[in-house]
Amino acid sequence: MIPVLPDTDALVTSALRAGLPGTTVRVLWPDDWSAHLPLVVARRVAGAATNLAGVDSAIIDVQCAAPTRREASLLARTARTVLLTACRAQHSGPDGYLSTGAEVSGPAELRTGAPAVGPDLSRFQATYRVTTRPHPKTS
């Protein structure tokens, strides 16, 4: 039987929440983003299952926002460490676990897009490849 893939977004956001106390972690940008700073928005943007055993290789977009450039940069670099450490520790959720992680594109400042950067917002973006696996079946 082909297993159902783990919820990669749930695993990634759970790992980031655990490692970034005091930071709002979401899958989508909230309309009232300024009320949620510091903010990390992390979601799957590409990838595919690599075999029929349920191993999934996902590309994760991680955007970090804070009131100042220095704070946003530090948040992005810290989120990197948290996510890659969670992969190494095989962070687990209800339907699977993070297996491996690698940086695809390191944290870089975003100067375009929505929400627009300004005196009260700075954003950094990075992408990571994470592999997830379902929990082994027990008899």
Query: Phi and psi for 28 in degrees, rounded to 5?
Result: -125, 155
Segment holding 130, helix H or strand E: strand 122-133
Residue range 47-59: average pLDDT?
92
Summarised one tens digit per residue, pLDDT across range 22-39 is 999 999 999 999 999 999
Q: Which residue has the higher pLDDT, 118 or 43?
A: 43
Largest interatomic CA distance in the chain: 57
Residue 130 CB neighbours (<10 A): 25
Question: Does residue 102 carry a pLDDT above 70?
Answer: yes
Summarised one tens digit per residue, pLDDT across range 3-23 is 899 999 999 999 999 999 999
* Burial group, residue 92, by CB count within 10 angstroms (0-12, 13-18, 19+): middle
Inter-CA distances, 12 with 6, 54, 69, 88, 97, Å:
11, 17, 24, 13, 10
Question: Does residue 111 carry a pLDDT above 60?
Answer: yes
CATH among 3.30.930.10, 3.30.450.20, 3.30.70.1700, 1.20.1260.10 for 8-133? 3.30.70.1700
Question: Does residue 139 carry a pLDDT above 60?
Answer: no
Contact 21, 107 (CB under 8 A): no
Enter the pTM of the model: 0.93
